[in-house]
Amino acid sequence: MKTRILAIDENSLELAKSIINEGGLVAFPTETVYGLGANALNDDAVKLIYATKGRPSDNPLIVHVHKGYDITELVDNIPEYAKLLAKAFLPGPLTMVYNSRGVVCPTVSCGLNTLAIRVPSHEGAQKFLKYVGLPIAAPSANVSKHVSPVTAQHVLDDLDGKIKLILDGGKCTGGIESTVLDCTGDVPCVLRSGLVTRDMVAQVAGECDEYHMVECERVRSPGMKYKHYLPRCKTMLFDYEHRAEALKEYKICTARGERARIMCDEQVARDMEDAKILNLGGDENAVAANLYDKLREGERVADIIIAVAPQKQDGVMVGVMNRLSKACG
């Protein structure tokens, strides 16, 4: 199969629609990472997502819809706080989990009676979802466990020959996957942290819990269970306080003849002498936006990525550190 990368216009949208209608897969940009989409009402199409990614079959998918879509067709028991949150944050990088009405095929939610819904703000994503007019099930458009893609080229690097079409919407500006919020209880609960932080949710909803995975429990938010975001090279992770040891390790690796890179933000980079740096940027939003791009650059140019955590650990950094420790832990 030949994989085409096309800019988003009338022609590529028409092609995308016909692929989706035939039960095929289309990769599309969002403000977080690129998604690998299929018709959520077509069980075989959804199964193709799992097969194409090599994704574990108990790791549910998010259903993506355009901003005019009436989600009460798909879910019910939408609590008042969820309506407030939707008003505050949608379209945007917040996925909300509700009770499913069973319209979407069960493979999407891996048999859970809940359904995760996302309304992306990316203009290209909106155009695609509107044009197709169907709920689109989509995980990130990478091979399972690999670093998530934030450019069309990243998608091609992972899925060349496996899908027909990648809609190119440029580099994703958000960089880490959406916040996943359980909205089935009296109080919203963060299942996966992201750019919409727990504090931001609490400010609108009054309160907000955070879920911590219990061993052996049924998956509620897969990002937690599996090894994830792994670059294809050796990795190490140091906390901010141990940054001097990271530099020492870099020197040891380099002396051994290994191609090493230190991955860190600008503040840490100032303490890294003349070491070769994968620079994540100066503030938390830059760090989130650059993380996956730098991990993928690192696996291309280095034998080992030595990551150093930023000093700041709250807000958006909660989501960043969650990914960083899975990638390099």
Least distance (Å) between residue 297 CB and ligand AMP: 21
Binding site partner of 169, from ligand AMP, Mg ion, none, Cβ cut-off 5-8 A by kind: none
> How near is the Cβ of 27 to Mg ion at its closest, in Å?
13
Say whether residue 184 binds ligand AMP (CB under 6 A). no
Give the separation between CA 278 and CA 291, rounded to whole angstroms: 9
Q: Does 177 bind ligand AMP (CB under 6 A)?
A: yes
Query: Does 279 engage in binding with Mg ion (CB under 5 A)?
Result: no
DSSP 121-188: --HHHHHHHHHH-S-EEE-BSSSTTBPPP-SHHHHHHHHTTT-SEEEE--S-SS-SPPEEEE-SSSS-
* 235 part of the interface to Mg ion, by CB under 5 A: no
Told to check if 322 binds Mg ion by CB under 5 A, we report no
Comparing CB distances to Mg ion, the nearer of 91 and 139 is 139
Between CA 280 and CA 175 the distance in angstroms is 11
| Cα three-residue angle 284-288-293, rounded to 5 degrees | 140
CB of 183 to ligand AMP, least distance (A): 10
Positions in 307-326 near ligand AMP (CB under 6 A):
none
DSSP H or E stretch at residue 64:
strand 62-64
Largest CA distance in the chain: 61
Stretch that binds Mg ion, among 121-129, 140-148, 198-206, 230-238 (CB under 5 A): 140-148
Shortest distance (Å) from residue 116 CB to ligand AMP:
3
* Residue 37 interacts with ligand AMP (CB under 6 A): yes or no: no
Q: Taking the alpha carbons of 50, 100, 69, 22 in that order, is the dihedral positive or negative?
A: positive
Query: What φ, ψ does residue 201 adopt, rounded to 5°?
Result: -65, -45
Q: Give yes or no for residue 144 binding Mg ion (CB under 5 A).
A: no
Residue from 120, 222, 298, 310 in contact with ligand AMP (CB under 6 A): 222
Q: Which of residues 55-74 bind ligand AMP (CB under 6 A)?
A: 60-62
Q: How many CB atoms lie within 10 A of CB 226?
A: 16
Q: How far is the CB of 235 from Mg ion (least distance, A)?
A: 18
Beta pairing partners, 177: none
C-alpha pair distances (Å), 243 with each of 257, 272, 319: 21, 8, 21
Among 121, 140, 151, 197, binds ligand AMP (CB under 6 A): 140
| Separation in Å, CA 105 to CA 9, 42, 129 | 29, 7, 18
> Per rule CB under 5 A, is residue 107 in the interface with Mg ion?
no
Judged by the rule CB under 6 A, the positions of this chain that interact with ligand AMP are 60-62, 97, 109, 112, 114-116, 139-140, 177, 180, 191-192, 220-223
Judged by the rule CB under 5 A, the positions of this chain that interact with Mg ion are 139-140
